[in-house]
Chains A and B, each alone.
Chain A
Amino acid sequence: MSIEQPRGSHDLQQSESGEVEHPERFENPGLPPHRPRLGDEDPKANKRSEHQVVVLFVISIIATIAAIWGFFAFPVDGLQVGNVRMSTLVIGLGLGLGMLGIGVGAVHWAKTLMNDHEKVEERHPQRGDDATRAEAVDIMREGVEDSAIARRPLIKGALGTAVAIAPLSFLVPLIGNLGGDWDISKFRHTAWASAPGGGRRYLATDPTDRRIKASEVTRGSMVHVQPWRLEEEENFLEEKTKAVVILMRLDPKLLKEPEEKKDWSYDGIVAYSKVCTHVGCPVALYEQQTHHVLCPCHQSTFDITDQAKVIFGPAKRPLPQLPITVDEEGYLYAQSDFHEPVGPSFWERER
């Protein structure tokens, strides 16, 4: 790989031919000669550059004036969308060209008119020389001796402990309050358990909040569902986050239902949590031919015919099923809450 000449034989050749011995490495040739710019030798080009710089700065001035004109010319308090567009465009173009004029002008000035001879500055190593280092050590040693900390370990220990724990009286109240009531058992319950007052919790369309009759649910369709009249309750968004459900009607023969969940569906209508068991996005895409639902965030795919089992993607657990049934008038309602926590996994989930 490396093409190395055996040094000895090479030297021999040289001495035979009487040439000077070659150094091991090349010498740095030093700065290359300065190449003059057009404007350095041609006064006309020089003058031209000067004019260009002035023109650029003038463009900036004009653009800024245009931006201010745009501010007054296009009021946006009415209902004209066109004015919003024009206001944005004119103020933006004015601001942009105003800035560009200054910037391009300054850089053009520096590149064409300012002295372009490279200059050299020496560097100094970061490390202090030995004398300075020794002096620094002495200074620190002297300071430590002056403080007498070495001979008084008790002070050291007490101070260290005090400083280390002092932030706690700030951090404990801060962190302690961050989580509100810290009642993580809320992850386990949803609004489906019962309506306020203990009544049946009906399934309703999301977001129009109409109760759903079983007969309205046609095969091949998917209905987005929320608990009926949830909007009027406290913590609406938090409850809705957990309680959203998707409702589908399939040919009952297609459904693979274990014995204990036989009565969780109604005449081929099944309800599953809409919250993805991966990281909690709404599982909103339904493929009616294959009966798969797909989470648009990370593409976890669930098979509705088979207990919403995961067939692709990063989710691990099936979507929890909501046991449903119908009342006397044919409206769908939840038999009970979900039988497991909905949404993403968490540490205490199985407890």
Chain B
Amino acid sequence: MTAATNAPAEKADPRLAAAADFLDTRVGISKIVKEFARKIFPDHWSFLLGEIALYSFIVLLISGTFLTMFFVPSMAETHYPTDALPVTMQGVQMSEAYASTIHMSFHVRGGLLMRQIHHWAALLFVGAMVVHMLRIFFTGAFRRPRELNWLVGFTLLIMGLLAGFSGYSLPDDVLSGNGLRIADGVALAIPIIGSYVSFALFGGEFPGDDIIPRLFTVHILLVPGLILALIAVHLFLIVWHKHTQYPGPGRTQKNVVGFPLFPIYTAKAGGFFFIVFGVIALMGATMSINSVWNYGPYDPSVVSAGAQPDWYMLFLEGSLRLMPGLEVVIGGFTLSLAILIPGVILPGLLFTFLGLYPFIERAVTKDTGEHHLLDRPRNAATRTALGAGFLAVWFVLIGAGANDLIATHFNVSLNLITWIFRILFFVLPVVTFLVTKRICFGLQRKDRELALHGHETGRIVRFASGEFIEVHQPLDEYERWLLVSHDSPAPLQIDPPEDANGVARPGYKKERRWQKLSQFFYEDRIEPVTPAELAAAQSHGEHDELPATEAHEEITSEDSAGQIEARTH
């Protein structure tokens, strides 16, 4: 204990007291302080992932504000000044948007830095959101009462993708222009209204003069406004629900164990903001990104080979690349399945599954009650396997989005790689699902083993009878609790198809379908160790408990290692 806690209460600073009184008589600050200042938050490194997303968004707002001061969102034609850097662009015809982008990179102090900070922060923002969402998914943090907050977070992810894509398109360079061209191609493939959607986006034919000013408004006003509002809801719900916590000794569904907001998290989370900002700033200072002056202004006849979108768009790009050409004409109307399936339907299905997953799992498992203790992913094997399968699809698509680079870097036929990815797209998720599930069960068995028999100590003991055993160190109750505290739900039980009189029961078929889904989730399962099992294991494995007896004290682990050597040679 430090001395300060034991010292008598100090006299409050009169100026501080006056300020507090001012606020309290106007907005009742004392009640807010009482309610929130010492609110408890649990501690874990994985809870920082969402914070990284939040802080990189703040960095985006700050650096983005800087950029708006010097960016001209216009597609009006201009010629780059002949007395300005870079030399390669002098006198080149380009749009105002592109001209202002390279001008701010070379002739605004800190302009290039802010552009690079902004771009790195954007990549980190989406990345942190994705990894944060994976953490939520694999630990089951989305379960009741947090389903709605999952949806808020899901919408934030979509908004993040929109913000990224709209921002990527603003500099009006060759890469961003081709990105827009692809977006236009996907819009055109939408049945019935596609042509009009394309016209609506571009104010007429691609590229038109409207898309940059429109995307600018979307990028700096609409999307960030929505993101801010959703973040407010997201954070409010976190406080309202109180944060989930990992299972552990002393932690229950009815409490939250951790540290108070003030001062611990004020310092830790506040400090973490500066760390995130600092790391992004160092990246912006030292790592070049999106050097648009190398690409040149947008020209519909120019494209660079080996071009990739920002990483979070790669899955869509890969999905487009994987699809074989498929197009049907029905009643004179063209249905471009080669674009519709990979560009609209597949991402639609993937995102729908992701958004609705909490509700799907709840419907299947008929789970009721609130969950504030997180699952260790191994203990929810089917969910973990489903998530891993989902990730497998995603990674295949990302890999396919880089098929040309794989081909040139590894000197493999592009067609072969594409075919491998086409096959993997169907095979890998299934294999990943099965393997992940088995790994989860393996880990659960390992946990059982550990809870029942304790840690291997490496100490070998020889008995008078000549028998060798390895001494196991039993777990203390705190360590054991983590391995035995989880529930292992059983599949749904339903009544038999016929009642006692042999009459078919109405509704049986429906129940049976739910039961099958429930069996899919819970049929394979491993029960956590019970006190009775532990007692049984300890009673029949008595010699495991020898470690503390004096007779064997002198046998060190080195000795035993030597013994094993001796035995094996």
In the complex, are the beta carbons of B275 and A107 less than 8 A apart?
yes
- Measured between beta carbons, the chain B residues less than 8 angstroms from A7 are 532
Complex formed: what's the CA distance from A119 to B42 in Å? 9
Known A-B contacts A76-B106, A184-B195, A226-B301; A99 and B277 likewise in contact (beta carbons under 8 Å)? yes
CB pair A2–B208 under 8 Å, yes or no, is no
- In the docked arrangement, what's the CA distance between A10 and B531, Å? 12
Q: Which of B184, B285, B335 touches A280 (beta carbons < 8 Å)? A: B184
Segment with Cβ contacts to A, from B126-134, B302-310, B389-397, B454-462: B302-310
The reply to whether A2 and B532 form a contact with Cβ atoms under 8 Å apart is no
B217-225, B246-254, B496-504, B546-554 - interface stretch: B246-254
Q: Does B206 contact A (CB under 8 A)?
A: yes
Which of B39, B186, B205, B322 interacts with A121 by CB under 8 Å? Answer: B39
Q: List the B side residues contacting A19 at CB < 8 Å.
A: 535
Interface 1/0 per residue, A309-331 and B, CB below 8 Å: 01011111100000000000000
Q: A110-B264, A316-B327 are in contact. Are A244 and B301 (CB under 8 A)?
A: yes
**In the complex, are the beta carbons of A103 and B258 less than 8 A apart?**
no
Bound-state Cα–Cα, A107 to B448, Å: 37
Which residue of chain A is the closest to B253 with respect to CB atoms?
Answer: A123
Q: A284 — which chain B residues lie within 8 A by C-beta? A: 301-303, 305
Contact B531 A23 (CB under 8 A): yes
**Residue interface mask B400-432, A partner, CB < 8 A = 1:** 000110000000001100100000000000000
Bound complex: CA A186 to CA B203 (Å): 13
**B195 near A187: Cβ-Cβ < 8 Å:** yes
Of A89-97, A134-142, A193-201, A210-218, the one contacting chain B is A89-97
**Is the beta-carbon distance between B264 and A238 smaller than 8 angstroms?**
no
Contacts A89-B286, A107-B268, A282-B302 given; indicate if A31 touches B257 (C-beta within 8 A): yes
The complex places the Cα of A77 from the Cα of B258 at a distance, in Å, of 53
Please state if A32 and B321 are interface contacts (CB–CB under 8 Å): no
Determine if B45 is an interface residue (Cβ-Cβ < 8 Å): no
Complex partner residue of A237 from B40, B249, B300, B524, CB under 8 angstroms: B300
- Interface residue ranges of A34-74 to B (CB < 8 Å): 40, 46, 71, 74
Give the interface segment out of B159-167, B347-355, B476-484, B512-520.
B476-484
Instruction: Give chain A nearest CB distance to B447 CB in angstroms.
Output: 12
- Contact of A315 with B325 in the complex, beta carbons under 8 Å: yes
Query: Which residues of chain B are within 8 angstroms of A88 by Cβ–Cβ distance?
Result: 110, 112-113, 116, 285
User: CB of B136 within 8 A of chain A?
Assistant: no
The CA of A181 and the CA of B441, in the complex, are separated in Å by 62
CB <8 Å contact, B274 and A118:
no
Cβ contacts B192-216/A at 8 Å (1 or 0 each): 1111101111011111101000000
B110 lies within 8 A of A71 (CB) = yes
Q: A106-B271, A119-B40, A123-B242 are in contact. Are A280 and B182 (CB under 8 A)?
A: yes
Do A238 and B205 touch across chains, with their CB atoms under 8 A apart? Answer: yes
Instruction: Judge if B155 is at the interface, Cβ distance under 8 Å.
Output: no
Check if A281 sits within 8 Å of B181, measured CB to CB: yes
Is the C-beta of A249 less than 8 angstroms from some C-beta in chain B? Answer: no
User: A116 contacts which chain B residues (CB < 8 A)?
Assistant: 259
Q: Report whether B536 and A5 are in contact in the complex, using a CB–CB cutoff of 8 Å.
A: yes
Kindly identify, within residues 283 to 301 of chain B, every residue whose CB is under 8 Å from any CB belonging to chain A. 284-286, 299-301
Q: Mark A107-125, 1 if CB is under 8 A from B, else 0.
A: 1011100111011111101
- B535 contacts A22, CB within 8 Å? yes
| Segment from A153-161, A262-270, A341-349 that makes contact with B | A341-349
Residues of A within 8 A of B267 (CB): 106-107, 109-110, 114
Q: List A contacts of B196 (CB < 8 A).
A: 179, 182, 184
Q: Which residues of B contact A173 (CB under 8 A)?
A: none
Q: How far is the CA of A97 from the CA of B112 in the complex (A)?
A: 18
* Complex Cα spacing A338 to B117, Å: 46
C-alpha gap A318/B182 in the complex (Å): 18
Determine the chain B residues whose CB is within 8 A of the CB of A351 once the complex forms: 332-333
Contacts of B190 in A (CB 8 A): 347
B5 nearest CB across to chain A (Å): 7
Q: Is the CB of A181 within 8 A of B182?
A: no
A281 touches B274 (CB 8 A): no
Kindly identify, within residues 56 to 86 of chain B, every residue whose CB is under 8 Å from any CB belonging to chain A: 83-86
Of B200, B284, B336, most A-chain CB atoms within 10 Å:
B336
Please determine whether B530 and A346 come into contact, CB atoms closer than 8 angstroms. Answer: no
B377 within 8 Å of A (CB atoms): no
A118 in contact with B107 (CB, 8 Å): no
Cβ-defined contact, B285 with A179, below 8 A: no
B234 to chain A, nearest CB (A): 17
Distance between Cα atoms of A187 and B202 in the complex (Å): 14
Contact between A28 and B481 (Cβ–Cβ < 8 Å)? yes
A147 at interface by CB-CB < 8 Å: no
Residue B312 at the chain A interface, CB threshold 8 Å: no
B279 interface hit (Cβ, 8 Å): yes
Known interface pairs A106-B274, A237-B207; A298-B264 also in contact (CB < 8 Å): no
Task: Establish whether residues A241 and B207, one from each chain, have CB atoms under 8 Å apart when the complex forms.
Answer: yes
A268-307 contacts to B (CB < 8 Å): 274, 278-282, 284-285, 296-300
Is B489 among interface residues, defined by CB-CB distance under 8 A? no
Closest residue on chain B to residue A78 by CB atoms:
B85
Q: Are A121 and B477 in contact (CB under 8 A)?
A: no
- Interchain CA distance A203-B245 in the complex, whole Å: 69
Q: Which of A100, A120, A296 contacts B303 (CB 8 A)?
A: A296
Residue of B nearest to A116 (CB): B259
Q: Which residue of chain B has the shortest Cβ distance to A117 in the bound complex?
A: B259
Q: Kindly list chain A residues whose C-beta atoms are within 8 Å of the C-beta of B535.
A: 19, 22
* Chain A, range 198-233, C-beta contacts under 8 Å to B: 206-207, 224, 226
B258 CB contacts on chain A under 8 angstroms? 118-119
Q: A122 vs B526: C-alpha distance in the bound complex, in angstroms? A: 31
Whether A95 and B285, one on each chain, are in contact in the complex, defined by CB atoms closer than 8 angstroms, is yes
Which residues of chain A are within 8 angstroms of B206 by Cβ–Cβ distance?
A: 238, 241, 280
- Is A24 in contact with B256, judged by CB distance below 8 angstroms? no
- Is A30 in contact with chain B by the CB < 8 A criterion? yes
Q: Is the CB of A103 within 8 A of B40?
A: no
A268-B277 Cα distance, complex, nearest whole Å? 61
Q: When A1-B525, A345-B189, A345-B327 are in contact, do A297 and B85 touch as well, CB less than 8 Å?
A: no
Contact for B195 among A175, A181, A346, CB less than 8 A: A346
Interface centre among B252, B264, B281, B286 (most CB of A within 10 A): B281
For residues 462 through 489 of chain B, which have their beta carbon under 8 Å from a beta carbon of chain A? 477-478, 480-481, 484-485, 488
Q: How far is the CB of B210 from chain A (nearest CB, A)?
A: 8
Closest-by-CB residue of A relative to B186 is A279
Which of B194, B260, B404, B532 meets A347, CB within 8 Å? Answer: B194
Does B121 have its Cβ within 8 Å of any Cβ on chain A? no
Pairwise interchain contact A29-B182, C-beta atoms closer than 8 A: no
Please name all residues of chain A whose beta carbon is closer than 8 Å to the beta carbon of B189 when the two chains form the complex: 344-346
| CB atoms of A120 and B275 under 8 A apart | no
Whether A282 contacts B301 by the Cβ 8 Å rule is: yes
Residues of A within 8 A of B301 (CB): 206-207, 224, 226, 240, 244, 274, 282, 284
Bound Cα distance from A187 to B184, whole angstroms? 13
Tell me, yes or no, whether A255 is within 8 Å of chain B by CB: no
A residues at B contact (CB < 8 Å): 1-5, 7, 10, 14, 19, 22-26, 28-32, 40, 46, 71, 74-77, 79, 81, 84, 87-89, 91-93, 95-107, 109-111, 114-116, 118-123, 125-126, 175, 178-182, 184, 186-187, 206-207, 224, 226, 235, 237-238, 240-242, 244, 274, 278-282, 284-285, 296-300, 310, 312-317, 343-351
Those 9 A-B pairs whose CB atoms lie nearest each other, nearest first: A92-B285, A279-B185, A106-B271, A103-B274, A100-B278, A31-B250, A99-B278, A103-B275, A96-B281
- Name 6 extra pairs, CB < 8 A, besides A10-B536, A99-B278, A109-B267: A88-B113, A103-B275, A118-B259, A299-B404, A346-B194, A346-B336
